[in-house]
Amino acid sequence: MTGPVTDAEDGIAEDGIGDGVGRTALMVAAARAIETHRTDTLVRDVHAEHFVRAARASADWPVRPEQVPDGDANPLWGRLGRYFGLRTRVFDDFALRSARSGARQIVLLGAGLDTRAFRLDWPPDRVVFELDSAGVLAFKRNVLAGRRAVPRAALVPIAVDLRTDWSGALTAAGFDPTLPTVWLAEGLLFYLPAAAERRLVDTIHRLSVPGSALAYEAKADATSLAAASDPIYAATLHQIGVNFLALFDGAPRPDSAADLRARGWSTSVRTPFDHAHLNPRALPAEPRDTLATNRWAFATLG
């Protein structure tokens, strides 16, 4: 997911093809498409560019490196795009390791337009639950059906509002709380009110058994969101009309990692730059770097 979908901020495709799809979800899909075509790619998603081209709001966005004005110097499609590529790879690796270590279910909280159920080599008999808005899931389903894409695990899409109680919808769709689960909340929490984040963490803990794992993305410093002149935020607003500063919830954030530790989870919190070994050219740190305030947290329940 890339934030709650709203007509005002995310943009709705007028032709109905992408009805309900937010510009932020399309932006991350475009970043994955560009990453897919790099010679030093971190992740391959052959479906990503088809989402971008299918929605009127994004039909003229770049989907290949040679289409990006200024190349890697472009704050949006260069720097932020490579951030999304690195994030996808790290969360992919975590999910696969957890599944291969025994997690039977994969729950993608705010699945967005990512295609993990289709592009990752899951162990046999795994189930992938995708939770997101009805519009995002319907758009994804239609595009993938047109490509005759076949998932590599059992796929269960669930239309929910993640700001509310979604646990009933998940269990009603076949989720088994007695089985180890890997949970991913990628690009989600800093769009949620603090109370919704606490409820989400509470729900994950309540539905998890030993052997379960969780990865999520957070902001270490909410005050950094006021940096309206930051090149990444400015470029995103100017080039595709996404105002991150309006979408992010700038209220003080809960310390979800500490909360999980108090409940018996083992946790580690990293910066994106801690994963530079995956591709040293992907995301070099810069002075006064807004991405340096991003945190990727990983937790396991023993």
The structure tokens 């269990």 sit at 171
Q: What's the pLDDT at 228?
A: 56
What residue ranges do the domains of the chain occupy? 7-301
> DSSP letter at 216?
E
- Give pLDDT tens digits for 83-92: 999 999 999 9
Residue 35 has pLDDT above 70, yes or no: yes
The closest alpha carbon to 177, from 203, 140, 138, belongs to: 203
Structure tokens at 98: 């957890």
**Three-state SS for 299?**
strand
Which residues, including other chains, have CB under 8 Å from residue 163's CB and lie 6 or more apart? 4, 192, 193, 196
- Give pLDDT tens digits for 42-58: 999 999 999 999 999 99
Rg (CA), the chain: 18
Gap between the Cα atoms of 95 and 184, Å rounded: 8
Q: Would you give the distance in Å from CA 271 to the centre of its chain?
A: 16
pTM above 0.85, yes or no: yes
- Give pLDDT tens digits for 235-245: 998 999 888 87
Residue 79 has pLDDT above 70, yes or no: yes
Q: Compare 228 and 156 and report the one with higher pLDDT.
A: 156
CA torsion sign for 166, 171, 174, 177 is positive
Most confident of the ranges 34-38, 271-275, 285-289: 34-38
Q: What's the pLDDT at 221?
A: 64
- Give pLDDT tens digits for 163-200: 999 999 999 999 999 999 999 999 999 889 999 999 99
Residue 293 has pLDDT above 90, yes or no: no
Tell how many helices (H) and how many strands (E) occur in the chain.
11, 7
Q: Are 22 and 236 in contact (CB under 8 A)?
A: no
Which residues, including other chains, have CB under 8 Å from residue 4's CB and lie 6 or more apart? 22, 133, 161, 162, 163, 191, 192
The phi-psi region of residue 174 (left if phi > 0; otherwise alpha if psi is between -120 and 50; otherwise beta) is left
**Three-state SS for 3?**
coil
Mean pLDDT of the chain, nearest integer: 89
When pLDDT is averaged across residues 261-288 and rounded to a whole number, the result is 88
When pLDDT is averaged across residues 19-37 and rounded to a whole number, the result is 87
CATH of 7-301, one of 3.40.640.10, 3.40.50.300, 3.40.50.150, 3.10.20.70: 3.40.50.150
- Give pLDDT tens digits for 94-138: 999 999 999 999 999 999 999 999 999 999 999 999 999 999 999
